[in-house]
Amino acid sequence: MNLALFDLDNTLLAGDSDFEWAQFLIAQGVLDHEVHEARNLEFYRQYQEGTLDIQAFLDFQLAPLARHSREELDAWHAEFMTRRVQPLIHAAARNLVAEHRARGDLLAIVTATNSFVTGPIARAFGVSHLVATIPAQTDGRFTGRPRGIPAFREGKIARVETWLESLGLWWSSFEESWFYSDSHNDLPLLEKVTRPVAVDADPTLTGIAAARGWPCISLRDDDR
């Protein structure tokens, strides 16, 4: 059995679910347009540049979850899936996941985006294992804070290892391990697996992949 790990935003998705969720809430009038759009764009720029303060970002990202009931959030998310997420799912991404599933590989989506936003997206891909940043809850309501280590940079390795151990597995349990990602922020996990793959990669990761002989692929060139 082999291990296949997939980044979500700008890898399996032709866009960023984190960014799109905030933009969706702004469009719904849940968040203030002037204030939140500027901050959303700034955090996205920092992520692309590799300068993101993950704790500051999570304070911004998770705060709206704490201000609303789960019923409201779930209703918004259902609409978000239809309007914002489904158009970002291309056939090539579905086919890649299906190929690994057909081989009998253990599959997981590994993402820094919180599990409330990404859980339904993972299910849309038919991937039952999600390794994500966890939003803390008290009595069924989100607190606006993360629980445990965010699944970001080296935190992705820590989260994956905790998940593997929960299954009684470890890296050595697999002959080969794959990780697909678009971002240089994912270099720690890309360097950890035996088969790193750059997917529609940012310029920094494209250069690194070329220098190291890593495969570079696109999941965008299809008709969905």
Q: Which residues are designated catalytic? A: 7, 9
Q: Please state whether 144 falls in left (phi above 0), alpha (psi between -120 and 50) or beta.
A: left
Max CA separation in the chain (angstroms): 50
**CA dist., res. 83 & res. 120, Å (int):** 14
Could you give the angle at the alpha carbon of 160 between the alpha carbons of 93 and 25, nearest 5°?
A: 60
**CA dist., res. 104 & res. 198, Å (int):** 22
CA distances from 70 to 131, 136, 137 (A): 21, 13, 11
Range list of β-strands (E), the chain: 3-6, 106-114, 130-138, 141-147, 177-181, 195-199, 216-217
Q: 69: how many CB neighbours lie within 10 A of its CB?
A: 11
Compute φ and ψ for 221, nearest 5 degrees.
Answer: -85, 70
Which residues is 134 bridged to in the sheet?
147
Which residues is 137 bridged to in the sheet?
142
